Structure 1
């Protein structure tokens, strides 16, 4: 047993060494780019009950990212963090982030993400909105689709998701309300087929293959005792979300969606952290393709293309060990198991992933990191990820 564990450690650190040797020039370049960041502390006093006090921080940087889906992407990113009060030590730092990227695969994405923690965290407001023009890939539906099924398609998408939560009974427990809107249009498929009838979209009669509008309201129940929003080293997070997509709300398709996300952060010592996640995504009803569960991506089962396996439902288990190296640099080793399925409760073959990565503390005080991960999956699947923020 000890020999096997030693071998696993050797493998992880060889991966880290490989990433370090092949990417150090890119990290140095990124470091110079970050010299353009803009930081300011406002000295303005505002007495309004909702006004910000003196702790504000704005960061504007050229953005460079990499994933299996996009190859290298280039653009600009801005992050605005703030607190309502220095005296309110229980309230975590709020953040708003915007991003505009164009990739070597001719994809274009503009996004806004944010979490605002109101005084004493009585209320938490989450915001997400995006527009995408995205040449993508599709292998069909199911947990065992072969690599030979690979097919290209293109879509455009608008997405809006506000989520307001209020604490009840305990300062770590929240009940929330949310709204989700998604419009998918301009879908093109069958470009790499001699005839459109040969496309998987036609053969499998894929719901939403000509576009879709989904609109739904939902509720959430959340326990959140994490000590940090970006990269916690202790505490836990558990959230259950239910959204009903209904024609009464303007949706073209009727179905319901349940998402369960549980995370635990364990401080192994003062600087090492073991992060664990269990994630479940369930749909029931007539679900369009862009609302289905996707296995893979930069946060979920790193090493697989985002959507390499796709279906109505999904379960994923992930673990990550994070440790410091020197100065602002750190390292991590991670692994995961996951699957998709057509019916809830159906357990098929679990896919696995593992890998390692480097971290650079962009904002050490707020624990906002640049991450470089390399993940490996089954059948030679692998990928490099160069992103802002932790996977979970």
Structure 2
């Protein structure tokens, strides 16, 4: 997903202080569980942040034992860098998973950093800027059998304000979207999903390709298309789980607005790099993570990733890419649903590194 969704799973230092227990303790399928907790957070992008988060898990059909658990998560954070993020995201599964609905809605008022475009953007180019943005992403998926789903999607982004250094790298690179803009796109998707769990799968495969087109007939200020391929495989190794992901995001058009460019780094892919340290039209990443129990609700992981950005596919080379690696701890705030708070430390090439505390797995 886009940057706002990644920030929804923003870093968590304090364990839950309040747990609203299941509404029905006699029948697992009828349970509704809500966890509400204060947040003290820190990331490469935000520094320390403070706020509140909540996660609700439930079943839309109380008598359907085969359907995965639905969820809604909410977050509001304010950082010492005067960054504010409020977001809601979730996934709902109807009876027998005939339909799946996914949503992300957020507002961001965010000081950020920019180093220019391309895979060779220099660290010395670093420039600060600020933006305010609304973001909406809605998806509806229809089950067509054998774990396959076809879907439709709507994406809206309204960059209401942006403040940057005039005559700096934004102007020198003639970056699209350095002024306020509105984009809207509609598209479709094809998904295969037989994962055992929505939060932390122990086995199964998730494979999705989606296409989204932004155009003036929808009120968009830019015309371009976005293609995403996301493949995740989960392999059970006795008490351990090996998680694998291949991810591609490509933008096709003459001008791609700033906040829609493919960006390397962040809490979910290429941990250890500042999110957006490298930006361009296209991104490819490969990552793996070994997850294993430690003691009761506590578990640990080791992860590694390679990836890069490029203007076109021919820019990518296995001999010229960036890497990251690291380790982390997990604490189960909802053991039944496998919902974890995670603490990761990632290292990237050329001195990049960062600490992450988050709700939910990276992938």
TM-score for the superposition, normalised by structure 1: 0.86
Name the structure 2 match of 1:333: 302
Structure 1 or 2: larger strand share?
Answer: 2
Name the structure 1 match of 2:218: 249
After TM superposition, which residue ranges in structure 1, 4 or more long, deviate above 6 angstroms? Answer: none
Contact 2:60 2:92 in 1 (8 A): no
Name the structure 1 match of 2:58: 82
Residue 227 (1) aligns with residue 196 (2): yes
How far did 1:154 drift? 0.4
Residue 317 (1) aligns with residue 292 (2): no
Equivalent of 1:106 in 82, 90, 106: 82
Equivalent of 1:389 in 355, 360, 363: 360
Distance in 2 between residues matched to 1:38 and 1:376, nearest whole Å? 37
Name the structure 2 match of 1:176: 151
Contact 1:282 1:312 in 2 (8 A): yes
Equivalent of 2:323 in 352, 356, 366: 352
How far did 1:86 drift? 4.8
Secondary structure of the 2:243 match is strand
Q: CA RMSD in A?
A: 1.8
Q: Gapped runs of 5+ residues in structure 2?
A: 1-10
Equivalent of 1:186 in 153, 161, 170: 161
Equivalent of 2:273 in 304, 308, 315: 304
Name the structure 1 match of 2:105: 129
How far did 1:149 drift? 0.6
Distance in 2 between residues matched to 1:81 and 1:169, nearest whole Å? 25
Q: How many residues align?
A: 349
How far did 1:335 drift? 0.4
Distance in 2 between residues matched to 1:63 and 1:329, nearest whole Å? 19
Give CA deviations for 1:3-61 in whole Å, capped at 9, x if unaligned. Answer: xxxxxxxxxxxxxxxxxxxxxxx99x824xx2322224059xxxxxxxxx832111111
Name the structure 2 match of 1:46: none
Distance in 2 between residues matched to 1:117 and 1:346, nearest whole Å? 40
Secondary structure of the 1:161 match is strand
Q: Which has the higher Rg, Structure 1 or Structure 2?
A: 1
Q: Gapped runs of 5+ residues in structure 1?
A: 1-25, 44-52, 191-195
Contact 2:30 2:63 in 1 (8 A): no
In 2 relative to 1, CA 233–40 (structure 1 residues): closer, same or farther, beyond 3 Å?
Answer: closer
Give CA deviations for 1:338-381 in whole Å, capped at 9, x if unaligned. Answer: 00001133214210000000000110000000000000001111
Name the structure 2 match of 1:30: 14
Bigger drift between 340-349 and 245-254 goes to: 340-349
Distance in 1 between residues matched to 2:258 and 2:160, nearest whole Å? 12
Contact 2:17 2:38 in 1 (8 A): no
Equivalent of 1:276 in 237, 240, 244: 244
Name the structure 1 match of 2:39: 63
Structure 1 or 2: larger helix share?
Answer: 1
